[in-house]
Amino acid sequence: MVQASNTIKSVADEAAERIDSNLSTAGAASSEDVQAELEQLRRDLAALTQTVASYGSGKIREAGDVSREYVDSAREQLRNAEQDIEAYVHAKPFQSLAIAAGVGYVLALLSRR
């Protein structure tokens, strides 16, 4: 990130220096010199655009990797919770049945409103 930022800054600084130089010597410069400078500026801008694009695609890839890690972690936590609930139901079936009946009763009361 810092390297891309430094590259962008250096290309922009070089372009600004060339523009300042061209403006100060515009009266004495020939048409070919101005054309050459404009062409160099176009190349610099193309390089800058490429740098910014590659930086952006790298960040998108990085964000995708992080989100995949979060999804995998959430899936693992859900699997663990499911296993814990299943173990609890097998260990205490009557309590589980009472809890389920209580939750069902509360949901029925809430759905009537």
In-domain check, residue 16: yes
Query: Mean pLDDT, the chain, as a whole number?
Result: 80
In-domain check, residue 93: no
SS3 for 52-71 is HHHHHHHHHHHHHHHHHHHH
In-domain check, residue 102: no
In-domain check, residue 65: yes
In-domain check, residue 98: no
Summarised one tens digit per residue, pLDDT across range 29-78 is: 566 776 777 788 888 888 888 877 777 777 888 888 889 999 999 999 99
Q: How far apart are the first and last CA of the chain?
A: 55
In-domain check, residue 113: no
Burial of 41 (0-12, 13-18, 19+ CB in 10 A): middle
> What is the reported pTM?
0.45
In-domain check, residue 61: yes
Q: Give the number of domains in the chain.
A: 1
In-domain check, residue 91: no
Which pLDDT score is estimated for 62? 85
Which pLDDT score is estimated for 83? 92
Q: Which structural domain, as residue segments, surrounds residue 41?
A: 2-82
